[in-house]
Amino acid sequence: MHVRFSAAPVPADSALVARLVEQDALPADLPAVVAEGAKQSRFTGKTGQVHEAFVAQGEAIARVALAGIGARGEGDRRAALEKAGAGLTARYLTSGVTTLALDLAGSGLAADETAAVLLAARLRGWRWDAWRTTLKDDQKPTLAEIVVHGAPEGAEAAWQRESALAEGVELTRELVTEPGNVLYPESFVVRVQGRVAGTGLEVTVLDEAAMRDLGMGALLGVAQGSLRSPRILALRWNGAAADAKPVAFVGKGVTFDSGGISLKPGAGMEDMKWDMGGAGAVAGAMLALAKRRAKANVVGICGLVENMPDGGAQRPGDVVKTMSGQTVEVINTDAEGRLVLCDVLTWTQKTFQPATIIDLATLTGAIIATLGNEYAGLFSNDDALAERILAAGKACGEQLWRLPMGAVYDKMIDSPIADMKNMGSRYAGSITAAQFIQRFIDKGADGKATPWAHLDIAGMVWADKPGQTWDKGATGYGVRLIDRIVRDAHEA
């Protein structure tokens, strides 16, 4: 959806005009029929309310939409504004109207508040209809443009930053939505390379031969049952001083996860096309950071494999040697994400020497059992880093909940024949997965480990019903979170 700003008043022939309304503060200049209709329908401007009226414009009829943004100073202002913007798009996306005139004259909104409304409006309008060929006309999106009138000073510049973020979220949703026969490690790389071309991102790609030379036995063990060759995609953005160590975001990218020899149940297996949601979030976030010219040094690394069960597939009981030199007894081939991450994390640390590492992965079903689809799980070896991530999640609406770690859980993945097992018992599955990953975080000369956090986002990347800023399907979770972490803690 395109957004543009106009210095002119709202044209008299506009087919759809929308206004934002504070709670219990209907604008005094509303046409009488609109104001009276709002009162009679009990529209008061509460967050999420949308009221529609029709007014005569000469011989034409125009729609007027009122979207409630709640009372200023009460609740989460950003969330209220986003709900209003998204609500307008949801209401009119397939209405037949192509342009919405957003009249902000006298609204009292600040520049960043305006950008929040527009970001939500654009995100709610994203759909992926590439594979739908029989949609009826009244099911097809028509709303293609929002024209902003009466915007506050600085709103257009604020929107330029947020529009870059929107592009990143949209790329992530596209990657997560595509089926496994279309999106696999090689095609993931090609698609992302095409989207980031010309942005200034430095791109590095490792193929299977390079990974073998580096000794990535864990990642290659996951990939060996598939005809699709694995890849590592690294995107580097240098927006700060050359000598400043980067923050690294590492994403699990299992483009389809059958479970391997430890085959998943057939029911719902189609959902495993989105087991690359962590890598998708990293790719989308790196596009957003580059598009808005972030003043930080950031690397985004995607470990890309397909987990399939052919005659050459990894077996339960196999032992693999990781790039770090540590060995892993593979108890369950469906606990594959941590095997991918461990080698990618080792390579990331050796290649980029990051000051901070944050990995994102659709890692465990246990995190969904624990937190549902409301929070991602957060694990960390550093309290200050964990607090920054929690604050960033709250600020952008992509919430997390911190879970414990400790030696008592670490013992649950000790192996009798190797350095560790790739899973523990049926209990504390998300925690033991985090304990596994932590074993691959290096320590410096001072004996202190690099600040690291693991985000288990399995319950967040796909939604079975529409949310505030997304339709049913891919949510784009992680892009806004990464962007907010960089804005708050790493930009110069």
Instruction: Give catalytic residue positions.
Output: 264, 338
Element (H, E) at 35: helix 32-40
Cα(124)–Cα(43) distance, integer angstroms: 23
Read off φ and ψ for residue 92, nearest 5 degrees: -115, 5
CA distance 490 to 492: 6
Distance CA 338, CA 252 (A): 8
Quote the CA–CA distance of 374 and 400 in Å, as a whole number.
Answer: 8
Distances (CA, A) of 105 to 18, 110, 151, 169: 11, 12, 7, 29
* Complete DSSP assignment for 176-220: HHS-TTT--HHHHHHHHHHHHTTS--EEEEE-HHHHHHHT-HHHH
Instruction: Give the closest residue to 332 by CA, choosing from 415, 396, 256.
Output: 415
User: Under DSSP, is residue 360 helix (H, G, I), strand (E, B) or coil?
Assistant: strand
Neighbours of 142 (CB within 10 A): 14
Amino acid (one-letter) located at 153: E
Instruction: Please give the sequence-ordered ranges of beta strands (E in DSSP) within 279-423, or none if there are none.
Output: 297-307, 319-321, 327-329, 356-361, 376-380, 400-402, 420-421
What tokens were used for 349? 């640390």
Answer for the pair 182, 138: CB distance below 8 angstroms, yes or no.
Answer: no
Using CA atoms, how far residue 459 sits from 148, 377, 450, in Å, is 35, 9, 27
Q: What percent of the residues of the chain are helix, what percent strand, and what percent coil, each to the nearest 5?
A: 35, 20, 40
